[in-house]
Structure 1
């Protein structure tokens, strides 16, 4: 039986004397699943994402991703983990405007020490697969929002991560570009990519997610299969 991509056990996170941002959360995500995390502002969505990404540590419990205890990693280990095992897509793309599309996509491979020729082959493959190979020499500022998010997804997939984390990936996009990104994520999941996305976009969750998790006051109050399972 395959091991889970995400295995969170009894995990809580508190800050100071206030109520917990996360309270005794248990969550398992299996290979090939696409899970949407929903909830109002302050529900713990960003805290959960940061714990999975190794950007924060739990106050109690464990966070295991792709067989690695993320909560036990130091700063250098966390950085290596993010390079090698996860890809991250953000609401505002986080592309470097002074680098071309190709150089933005190549950046994770360069940080990971991937040989130059191999990295360039991988970048070309991703850009073609995501339909943006005509923009290889362009700069991000000349692209539409949907195109920039495609570049960000290509960069996130560069090192073949076990898990793709997407934080409000349609939040800064117009309707047409949002539809474009929804189709992109749906296609990636259909190809077998495991995805966890945090979103307020119900259309995105309904289109892309095989499960929907709802957080309220740091607790999972709902964990249900979605219609996307039958797709």
Structure 2
């Protein structure tokens, strides 16, 4: 069996004097899985995502992504990890309004050291794959929410990361656009992309993942697998 893409081992995180945001969480996600992390507000979903992405550190336990101990990295190493091993999709897109679509997508590769011409070529390839190449020269503010989220997905895939993290990817979209993003994530997983979707949207989880991890009061309360959706 290949090495896991994500491995959490007895991870806990507490903020200030409150109860644990995440407590004794252990989780293994294998290459090619599509996993939804579900739970109500305050259940620990965002904390888990932030620990996986190296945006936060556990108080106890270990966090490993694609063979790298995330909890042991310094800030510069964490930045490199996120550029090369983790693609992130956010609820509110986080695109740069003063850059064109193609420049937004190419930026992560250029920051990682890829030449501008090669980065632009890769960005245009992704735009074609996601059926939005006609918007390459447009600015994000001229696009619909669904189109902007497709641009954000392309940017997240730019450096061919082994892991794609989606944080409430349909939270800012209308129903039709949300279903479109769900189909897109399903297609990416069908092509072998490992995906973790953090959401409260049961319909999104059902449409694009085949495993559901439920959190309640900072603990994993259920971990269920269904037939993969293709």
1:41 aligns with 2:38: no
CA contact (8 A) 1:212 1:224 kept: yes
Cross-structure match for 1:192: 192
CA contact (8 A) 2:207 2:229 kept: no
Q: Structure 2 length as normaliser, TM-score? A: 0.98
Per-residue CA deviation, residues 150-207 of structure 1 (Å, 9 max, x unaligned), is: 0000000000001000000000000111111011101000000000010111111001
Instruction: For structure 2, list consecutive stretches of 5 or more residues without a partner in the other structure.
Output: none
Instruction: For structure 1, list consecutive stretches of 5 or more residues without a partner in the other structure.
Output: none
Q: Which aligned runs of 4 or more in structure 1 are off by greater than 6 angstroms? A: none
Cross-structure match for 1:3: 3
Q: Distance in 2 between matches of 1:204 and 1:193?
A: 17
Cross-structure match for 1:90: 90
1:201 aligns with 2:211: no
Cross-structure match for 2:104: 104
1:230 CA drift (Å): 5.2
Q: Distance in 2 between matches of 1:182 and 1:93?
A: 15
Q: 1:32 to 1:197 in 2, by over 3 A?
A: same
Q: Distance in 2 between matches of 1:40 and 1:226?
A: 21
Indicate the RMSD between aligned Cα atoms, in angstroms: 0.9
CA contact (8 A) 1:87 1:163 kept: yes
1:4 CA drift (Å): 0.2
CA contact (8 A) 1:206 1:226 kept: no
Cross-structure match for 2:155: 155
Question: What SS class does the counterpart of residue 197 from structure 1 fall into?
Answer: strand
Q: Distance in 2 between matches of 1:133 and 1:71?
A: 38
Q: Distance in 1 between matches of 2:92 and 2:178?
A: 13
Q: Distance in 2 between matches of 1:114 and 1:72?
A: 27
1:17 CA drift (Å): 2.1
Cross-structure match for 1:164: 164
